[in-house]
Amino acid sequence: MKGYLRKDGRKGIRNVVVVTYLVECAHHVAARIAQHYQDQNVHLIGFSGCAPNDYAELMMQQLCTHPNVGAVLLVSLGCENFQRDRLKQDIQDCGRPVSLIVIQDEGGTQSSIAKGIASVGDMLQIIKNVPTTDIDWKDLMIGTVCGGSDGYSGITANPSVGATFDWLVDHEATCIFEEPGELIGCERLLQERAVTPELGIQLYNCIVKANNYYKQMGHDSFSAGNATGGLTTIEEKSLGSYCKSGSRPIQGLTFPAQRPCKPGLWMMDVVPDGEARWGFPNINDNAEIMEMIACGCHLVLYTTGRGSVAGSAISPVVKVCSNPVTYLHMNEDMDINAGAIVTEGLSFADVRNLILRCIEQTASGIPTQSEILGHREYSLVYKSFQNTCL
């Protein structure tokens, strides 16, 4: 596998320019700049809020210094609370080219767009000179989420991803799973796999917090599509979701935008602390994908039964489809047909090998289906974590 060596020593599998708006008022200008380069590796991300939020600022800092990012253009209106100068300095300190446009200082929309287009053009030339490097499995960080789960998810795609995680952990990669709101009922199973008793209590309490949060919101993470797809309860869905984590010991509990400190299997807590207020614990799949990317994930394995067309900015998404009918119906969006376990008699190990081959190709620059189709979704919202460094 080949990738890009950053000045901070990290290795990336993509070399993208990120155009980042720091408040919703700057969204249009940033989007027009990115659209000018829509057929190139220029990705749009942003934060819509104006009020200060430590979570959002840390997320943005980690996204803009991600190893898959080669350069960054920051687009500010000028009067928002976001600490734009601090973010610019953080990006510079990590060795990335970075420019800042303040719309109010530039004289408005058209002049800001023109300056941004020129700046991104310069960056695309600069990052062509980023040195390439060999990438081993131990250099990779890989996340997993599920969306549009169905009755096949827990018996095809999710266990296959779990087998993939086991193989990756055994080869010194770093793997992250999450969705505590979809692990309700699995508290004891998680606790038993913790490397220390103290971590076991943390994992248990993480699921309890998610359950309480959902009760405050008046709903859980069980959708109408889940029921139509053959799932019956949140507990059944949870057991299927749990399979994605594989069977290896859990090394620690991390949080959005906090990089795991060592290789192995990690769980990410995405549910805000305290009373239900800033954001939902499962606001949408793309918010969770971006949280994994902010932790450093080079790519994300996305299992789906009903079918999802979502991709992501910055890091590729590999779609692992659980349902053979969905795969045939939506094959242009899917990368792996885990439903072949049902129709062709493949084993979990067989599908694991297909996923590993897809990871290897993706890490070497071959685009995933969502990349080919131009999917670059992102979502960044308010959250509050009271009991962590967030």
Percent of the chain with pLDDT over 70: 93
More confident residue, 54 or 241: 54
Q: What is the pLDDT of residues 86-139, one digit of tens each?
A: 999 999 999 999 999 999 999 999 999 999 999 999 999 999 999 999 999 999
Whether the pLDDT of residue 228 is over 80: the answer is: no
Whether the pLDDT of residue 164 is over 90: the answer is: yes
**Residue 332, exposed/middle/buried by CB under 10 A (0-12, 13-18, 19+)?**
exposed
pLDDT band at 234 (very low <50, low <70, confident <90, very high): low
Whether the pLDDT of residue 222 is over 80: the answer is: no
In this structure, what token pair is assigned to residue 184?
A: 């309700």
| pLDDT at position 205 | 95
Q: What is the pLDDT of residues 345-358, one digit of tens each?
A: 999 999 999 999 99
Give the separation between CA 20 and CA 31, rounded to whole angstroms: 9
Mean pLDDT for the stretch of residues 194-206? 97
Please list, in sequence order, all residues whose beta carbon lies within 8 angstroms of the beta carbon of residue 42, skipping any fewer than 6 positions away.
16, 17, 18, 19, 34, 120, 124
Whether the pLDDT of residue 363 is over 90: the answer is: yes
pLDDT band at 277 (very low <50, low <70, confident <90, very high): confident
Mean pLDDT for the stretch of residues 227-256? 82
Stated pTM of the model: 0.93
| pLDDT at position 389 | 47
| pLDDT at position 231 | 63
Mean pLDDT for the stretch of residues 259-268? 96
Alpha helices, H only, the chain: 27-36, 54-64, 84-93, 103-106, 109-126, 157-170, 187-192, 197-217, 224-228, 234-242, 285-294, 324-329, 340-343, 348-363, 369-372
Evaluate whether 24 touches 48 at the Cβ level (below 8 Å).
yes
Whether the pLDDT of residue 227 is over 90: the answer is: no
| pLDDT at position 285 | 86
DSSP secondary structure string, 144-192?
EEE-S--TTTTTTHHHHHHHHHHHHHHTT-EEEE--GGG-TT-HHHHHH
Place of tokens 């060592």: 262
Please list, in sequence order, all residues whose beta carbon lies within 8 angstroms of the beta carbon of residue 214, skipping any fewer than 6 positions away.
181, 184, 220, 221, 281
**Chain-wide mean pLDDT for the chain?**
92
DSSP 8-state assignment for residue 339: T
Lowest mean pLDDT among 143-147, 205-209, 222-226, 286-290: 222-226
| pLDDT at position 192 | 97
Mean pLDDT for the stretch of residues 36-41? 95
| pLDDT at position 181 | 83
| pLDDT at position 319 | 97
More confident residue, 138 or 219: 138
